[in-house]
Amino acid sequence: MGQGYREVADPSVYVRFPLVDPPKALADTDLLVWTTTPWTLPSNQFAAVKPDLEYSVVRVEDEPRRLIMASALVETIAAKVKKEFVVESTVAGSELLGLRYVPPFDYYYQRQGQTRGKLKSGGAEHVAWRVVAADFVTTDSGTGVVHQAPAFGEVDFDVLQAEQARFADGQGPPLLCSVGPDGKFTEETPEYQGRWVKDADRDICRQLRDEGTLLLLDQYLHDYPFCWRAEEDPLIQYPRKSWFIRTTKFVDKLLANNREIHWLPEHIRDGRMGNFLETNVDWALSRERYWGTPLPIWVCEKTGYAEAVASYAELLAKPGVEGTEAWDAAKRTNPALPDDLRVHKPYVDQITYDSPKAPGARMRRVSEVIDCWFDSGAMPFAQWGYPAREGSHEQFASQFPADFISEALDQTRGWFYSLLAISTLLFSDDGEAEDETRPVAYPHPFRNCIVLGLMLGEDGQKMSKSKRNYREPREIFDRYGADALRWYLFSNQTPWTSIRYSEQAIRECIPEFLLRLWNCYSFFAIYANIDKFDPAAAISGTVDQLAPGDLARARGYRPIVERAEIDRWILGESHRAAAAVTEAMDAYDNYGACARLNEFVDALSNWYVRSCRDRFWSGEMTRDKADAYWTLYECLVTTAKLIAPFTPFVAEALWQNLVAEPFGARARESVHLCDYPEADVAAVDETLSEQMALVREIVSLGRSARMGAKLKVRQPLARVEMILADRRYHEWLERHEALICDELNVKQAEIAEDPEQYITYTVLPNLKRLGPRLGKDLPALRKRLAGADGGKLLVELEAEGKITLALPGGEVSLDRDDIQIRLQAKEGWAAAQGRHCVVVLATELTEELVAEGFARELVRAIQDRRKEIGCEYTDRIAVGIVTDSPDLRAAAERFENYIRGETLTSRFSFEPLAGADPAELDVAGFAATLYVKVDKDNRSRTKER
RNA sequence: GGGCGCAUAGCUCAGUUGGUUUAGAGCGCGUCCCUGAUAAGGACGAGGUCCGAGGUCCGAAUCCUCGUGCGCCCA
């Protein structure tokens, strides 16, 4: 039936069912019955009440006959009818059971109203139009007396079946149904024959009113199902004969299998899926449609004996087969018809054979086809023709069970279930299985299942073709690239989160990852071109996937251990990333994998390339410069492989540019033909990784401190001091001053000799460790540590190896791992504090530092002009600076060589330059005029510094 | 009506199975920096009653109960 529920207004009718031969207390009394489907009233068979509910006998003003309804609803109904209701007596629902009534229409009643049947328990009873008991009766709406038309409702049908079970075989109530399969009234209801049921509601109500059984006609708003395809067509429930698979018999096995499946997110297992399995009902297998797999059951036209036919060959081998000529004729008419169609409608329906049970009778196929969800669930078997096709056992065994499948949440009852159900039924040892099958270890037919969230449109609503609340994928591809969409889907949320398909969000995810990575590549490409760095020329022979071993053969390629620390670091990071991404993907965690890839590209871009730029700028192809090239090249090639499954086009573009084009046939033609990088744990120096992370934090804090003190990075400073909570890396840091100095533009970086000048120490408990140990004493310890002098405690720890504290609950001894040291910067310094370290800037400026600051301002201004006048990276320029400021001029003279080197200036003067446009400058408050032009005499020379 | 889930910064989302300290990221916004990756890059900041109310616990965004709102599935 699907999802086509809509709110509509239907008639709401309150109808009198006059009691027949009631006890005296209920003389001249009618059951009051409510329904929103008047068209079902002609097929009424019972009225249901709840035995433990209290009912009232009500006198209505000006009415000769009394009404029975649930006491709880008397007021509500009186208000609707707008008449005064007087309760004359009350009666338990159980006392109404068995009472007979006259139904509103006598189409069936006139013939069967007096029919009685033999009960299994002895005695006899009227087969219909009696009050019966039902638990589903409520007082939420209606009257507490529920009209039962078993032909048009599942619970009503259950009531009929329960009644039938009470009677001896063939003696019970038949199913009354005055509606045909076309939804129109049949000849059983002559006045309405041929009319679509919903269209007859109006006239049915009119007839009820004319006959005096209608108490009230009203309107009722409720959700009603409509055809999901022809949206204007209301649906009705209708009894049809169907074929079922008795899945209920396998519930335990379904549950046991389900429990072994790794569901992502986990709650699906016991939640949505587990709950669905626990309340499993038999699988309604057959469909009354044309398209679909024909149900392969042939039935004897005389005896009803049925056979399931396993194959076309088996069918043809049946005795007395006829009807195959239908297919032959069709094939002659249209030779292009695929042979697969011969087992489909209409051809297969022509095939009949001799019944083994009745001489002369024929076996004919039933008319139904199979629910297409069965086909979907049969995929793991049917794709190989298992078990019938030759060789299928081997193919099947090699692919079963599947490692993982993925679909959206709505497939819980769809594909996920059909796969699970068929496989479980097929491979469960229930004593009835065919020889072919035997129990298979759970889980099957899939081990892992990623249940995706639903895709939502731009507005957060369900994507809708009619609402057009989304951008066409093709437009997204054209504008931002398919990889932008892929990366957005992979990296922005866990897969089970419903995804908003938003153009803006897709656009915004590009710079952080894809563009940043591409910038790294651009940087490499620009300078590799300038320097003629050519890996393909440096390596001979086949390079295949360009694995580390292939690179190692390159001329100029030095062993990694011999390279600069930062080279070892970034290559180590690439291996750490490969390991982490692989681990995440093995756990089906694409979100975590993307986060890790992003982290690596960030490290490559914002630390490696950034801090190695001047290595690429140096004039000669030194050993160090070559190392930098090989390192960056290897990182980019590895990255291309790492991102290949995530952003295949960008990955391929990298591979083509970096490998496929330069190496030609010596390398694999596509990154997608390469193996996924395997992390080389030996290449990872975890300590170095931590140390570098620390440097990055220090630099970040240094910049923060500069910001706070309003000291721009252009202004060199004399010194930066660092205070660390953890002394382990002190020595290492001292050796890496240069890196920090360079990034922060300071002359000296050192570990503070007198840290307590700048900071105070706080000792905090490591709660995760101490919580279980101390329990209720923990608050006391926290208070004690907060009140203590952190510096003293640390001295004690240094001297004794532990800190001993007296607490109300006894003495506590804390070692280094039991505590965390927090640093707090004191006021009055240009400082910034992080979790584990504090960075303090020396803010006093000497004349020389100020002058150097000026020089850097001038460099920046000249670089700006270079860009404005469209210089190539390698262009030499002529520069003229005219200024009235002696300080500025002095600084420029003093740092002339520095300025020339930074800006590729070949001619430098303090005069206006002919042929150059003047540009006005403001350098820290001093005015100057700058002239820049390309120095043509030096234009074609290669870069040197 | 039943089941399952979700609710964290303006927006979109993470939050490692309970560890308090400064609850994170991207985008957006603001301020600024850097600039030989340059129609890029970076830093800093503002912005949070972790939906509400109880409970368990030394300790809750996290576990339990109830409520509210939303979504999906089923009736």
Better-predicted residue by pLDDT, A797 or A553: A553
Query: Angle at the Cα of A713 (from A711 to A716), degrees rounded to 5?
Result: 85
DSSP state of A678: P
Confirm whether any atom of chain B, the nucleic acid strand, is less than 7 Å from CB of A512: yes
pLDDT at A436: 52
Task: Please identify which residue in the block is written with the tokens 């460099």.
Answer: A859
Question: Nearest nucleotide by C1' from A773 CA?
Answer: B58
**Hey, what are A96's tokens?**
């109404």
Whether residue A234 is preceded by a cis peptide bond, meaning omega within 30 degrees of 0, is: no
From the CA atom positions of chain A, what is the Rg in Å? 43
Residue A278 and residue A251 in contact, taking contact as beta carbons nearer than 8 Å? yes
The answer on pLDDT for A668 being more than 90 is yes
Confirm whether any atom of chain B, the nucleic acid strand, is less than 7 Å from CB of A284: no
CA distance A555 to A395: 48
Confirm whether any atom of chain B, the nucleic acid strand, is less than 7 Å from CB of A500: yes
Q: β-pairing, A54-60 with A66-70?
A: antiparallel
CA→C1' distance for A300 and B1 (Å): 45
State the CB neighbour count (10 A cutoff) for residue A756. Answer: 12
pLDDT at A329: 94
The answer on pLDDT for A487 being more than 70 is yes
CA→C1' distance for A80 and B47 (Å): 54
Task: Please identify which residue in the block is written with the tokens 């794709």.
Answer: A383
Question: Nearest nucleotide by C1' from A820 CA?
Answer: B21
Confirm whether any atom of chain B, the nucleic acid strand, is less than 7 Å from CB of A850: no
CA distance A489 to A482: 11
Closest residue, by C-alpha, to the C1' of B16: A592
CA→C1' distance for A707 and B32 (Å): 8
Q: Considering chain A, what percentage of its residues have pLDDT values greater than 90? A: 26
pLDDT at A87: 81
Helices A590-603/A565-586 angle, 10° precision? 170
Confirm whether any atom of chain B, the nucleic acid strand, is less than 7 Å from CB of A704: yes
Long-range contacts from A736-739, C-beta under 8 angstroms, 24+ separation? A736/A565, A736/A691, A736/A695, A739/A566, A739/A611, A739/A695
Confirm whether any atom of chain B, the nucleic acid strand, is less than 7 Å from CB of A775: yes
Confirm whether any atom of chain B, the nucleic acid strand, is less than 7 Å from CB of A837: no
CA→C1' distance for A863 and B35 (Å): 8
Of the candidates A165, A24, A4, the one whose C-alpha atom is nearest the C-alpha of residue A99 is: A24
The answer on pLDDT for A221 being more than 60 is yes
Residue A591 and residue A707 in contact, taking contact as beta carbons nearer than 8 Å? no
pLDDT at A631: 95
Q: Considering chain A, what percentage of its residues have pLDDT values greater than 70? A: 95
Burial of A646 (0-12, 13-18, 19+ CB in 10 A): buried
Instruction: Spell A763-794 as b/e; 16+ CB within 10 A means b.
Output: bebeeeebeeebeebbeebeebbeebebeebb
Phi and psi (nearest 5°) for A893?
-65, -45
Confirm whether any atom of chain B, the nucleic acid strand, is less than 7 Å from CB of A61: no
Sequence-separated (6 or more) residues with CB below 8 Å from residue A305? A299, A355, A356, A357, A358
Question: Nearest nucleotide by C1' from A504 CA?
Answer: B27
Closest residue, by C-alpha, to the C1' of B32: A707
Task: Please identify which residue in the block is written with the tokens 């469960």.
Answer: A428
Task: Please identify which residue in the block is written with the tokens 């009503």.
Answer: A156
Residue A368 and residue A295 in contact, taking contact as beta carbons nearer than 8 Å? yes
CA distance A518 to A780: 55
DSSP state of A226: B
CA→C1' distance for A492 and B13 (Å): 7
pLDDT in tens, A157-179: 888 888 888 887 888 788 888 88
**Residues (316-335, chain A) with CB within 7 Å of strand B atoms:** none
pLDDT in tens, A839-882: 888 888 888 888 888 888 888 888 888 888 878 777 788 899 99
Residue A277 and residue A360 in contact, taking contact as beta carbons nearer than 8 Å? no
Mean pLDDT (chain A, rounded):
85
Confirm whether any atom of chain B, the nucleic acid strand, is less than 7 Å from CB of A835: yes
Lowest mean pLDDT among A427-431, A712-716, A886-890: A427-431
Instruction: Spell A484-506 as b/e; 16+ CB within 10 A means b.
Output: bbbbbbbbbeebbeebbbbeeeb
Mean pLDDT for the stretch of residues A541-566: 92
Q: Give chain B positions with protein CB within 7 A.
A: 1, 3-6, 12-15, 17, 19-22, 26-28, 32-38, 40-45, 58-59, 71-75
Question: Nearest nucleotide by C1' from A905 CA?
Answer: B36
Sequence-separated (6 or more) residues with CB below 8 Å from residue A926? A854, A883, A885, A887, A888
pLDDT in tens, A181-218: 888 888 888 887 878 888 888 888 888 788 778 777 78
Closest residue, by C-alpha, to the C1' of B36: A873
pLDDT at A438: 66
Question: Nearest nucleotide by C1' from A777 CA?
Answer: B58
Q: What is the pLDDT confidence band of residue A302, given thresholds at 50, 70 and 90?
A: very high
Confirm whether any atom of chain B, the nucleic acid strand, is less than 7 Å from CB of A639: no
Confirm whether any atom of chain B, the nucleic acid strand, is less than 7 Å from CB of A409: yes
CA→C1' distance for A507 and B11 (Å): 14
Helix (H, G, I), strand (E, B) or coil at A681: helix
Residue A32 and residue A119 in contact, taking contact as beta carbons nearer than 8 Å? no
pLDDT in tens, A106-138: 888 788 778 787 887 888 888 788 888 887 777
**Residues (906-935, chain A) with CB within 7 Å of strand B atoms:** none
Question: Nearest nucleotide by C1' from A613 CA?
Answer: B36
CA distance A484 to A471: 14
CA→C1' distance for A724 and B20 (Å): 23
DSSP state of A269: I
Question: Nearest nucleotide by C1' from A273 CA?
Answer: B4
Q: What is the pLDDT confidence band of residue A6, given thresholds at 50, 70 and 90?
A: low
pLDDT at A945: 34
